[in-house]
Amino acid sequence: MKSDELRALQAPIKQRYRDDPGAAVVTLSAAGELGEGISCSVRTATALASAGLHPASGGDGTLLCSGDMLLEALVACAGVTLQAVATSLAIPVTGGTVTAEGDLDFRGTLGVDRDAPVGFGAIRLRFDLQGDATPEQLETLLGLTERYCVVLQTLRRPPQITAACAVTA
């Protein structure tokens, strides 16, 4: 896709959101179903993803790990955002890879040490790009990708999260 094509595609959407800011607020949702053993299946747009325990917490490695899925969501969002920014600004990126690594101390989630954190202690996101972008363009590309990547910004500034539990007969 070229810059003018992306702008033409997004122009009416952006104008609608300027005219009606409430239209820009969209509720996304996900649902899962508890499965056999210790598992939860989540229907994605294209497949059923079954998650279970990571091998470092007792899993056998046959099911997806939710921590890996979080990193995968970050990679996907950052990759799409980077491509949209590069396209919009006509920055010559012809390909590349996006990787994310995260460090977990499983003592926290297993309750081995109450002082050990539960969750990622550090996440590293890296872009290895192909193309003719200048160092200045790459700096702009990275800055705008960080600014507009939904998953990255959600991790950096966590939203208020509520949880509830109910039992049905």
- State yes or no: pLDDT of 1 exceeds 90: no
Do 100 and 82 form a contact (C-beta atoms < 8 A)? Answer: no
CATH superfamily of 3-156: K homology (KH) domain (3.30.300.20)
pLDDT tens, position by position, 75-116: 999 999 999 999 999 999 999 999 999 999 999 999 999 999
Specify the pLDDT at position 15: 95
CA–CA gap between residue 96 and residue 132 (Å, rounded): 12
The model's pTM is 0.92
H or E stretch at 123: strand 120-131
Closest among 111, 98, 107 to 72, alpha carbons compared: 98
Lowest mean pLDDT among 3-12, 71-80, 119-128: 3-12
> What Cα–Cα distance (Å) separates residue 86 from each residue in 35, 126, 164?
41, 16, 41
Residue ranges covered by each domain of the chain: 3-156
Q: Six-digit token pair at 34?
A: 């508890």
Do 127 and 133 form a contact (C-beta atoms < 8 A)? Answer: no
